[in-house]
Amino acid sequence: MRDRVISWLEKNVSQHRLQHILGVEQTCIDLARCHQLNQEKAAQAGLMHDLAKFFPPKKLLKIAEEAKITIDEVCLRSPHLLHADVSAVVAQQEFDIKDPKILKAIANHTLGTPGMSKLSCLVFIADALEPNRGDNAELNAMRATARENLYKCVRQTSDYSLKYLVSQQKIIHPRTILTRNWALAKAKKN
């Protein structure tokens, strides 16, 4: 199956994006090992998280509508935000992925959602922290946290994304803030 997915990706994403995806896959495996989670499921979710990354806006909207994915005002203005949810649809339709935890982990990798499973947290984190994302003190500190506390790292990853979005004057989806606040509360409890 992995070879089939990679072959599909080679036709549908850039070489640079494929390197990112492979980095996410490996980071998912490493973090799953650290947190005693199923490495095979983590690898599958990581490998398929960006299947729809290069779909044009009209295609993202069409697939989301057909799959009855909620398209709010923010996603309507910025359809690229739907690529995570649509990637889960593609994983199901193209590769017959049925495991709801894998599909949810794919769907939640960009915006997150309150109440995410540990597998979803792991893919959310891996997408931001895989080695191709850079090498600086902040990322390295977050990578260390990811090995110790998933929820604290989800909060840090959300903060990192929010800082970037604000600095670039980009639209912020409310789910990003809800995810951050949920992870903050969850990390305090643990």
Tell me the C-alpha distance between 154 and 3, whole Å: 30
Above 80 in pLDDT, residue 190?
A: no
Tell me the C-alpha distance between 29 and 38, whole Å: 8
Above 90 in pLDDT, residue 81?
A: yes
In tens, the pLDDT along 131-180 reads 999 999 999 999 999 999 999 999 999 999 999 999 999 999 999 999 99
- Hunting for tokens 């994304």 — which residue is that? 161
| Whole-prediction pTM | 0.95
Above 90 in pLDDT, residue 189?
A: no
Write out the DSSP string of 139-188: HHHHHHHHHH-HHHHHHHHHHHHHHHHHHTT----HHHHHHHHHHHHHHH
Mean pLDDT for 74-83 is 96
User: Strand ranges (DSSP E) for the chain?
Assistant: none
Tell me the C-alpha distance between 88 and 171, whole Å: 23
Above 80 in pLDDT, residue 184?
A: yes
pLDDT confidence tier of residue 188, bands split at 50, 70 and 90: confident
Above 90 in pLDDT, residue 28?
A: yes
At 35, which helix (H) or strand (E)?
none
- Find how far residue 139's CA is from the centre of its chain: 16
**Domains recognised in the chain with CATH numbers:** 2-189 (1.10.3210.10)
Tell me the C-alpha distance between 120 and 104, whole Å: 7
Average pLDDT, the chain: 96
In tens, the pLDDT along 98-122 reads 999 999 999 999 999 999 999 999 9
Q: Give Cα separations from 125 to 85, 144, 158, 160, 162 (angstroms).
A: 17, 12, 9, 11, 14
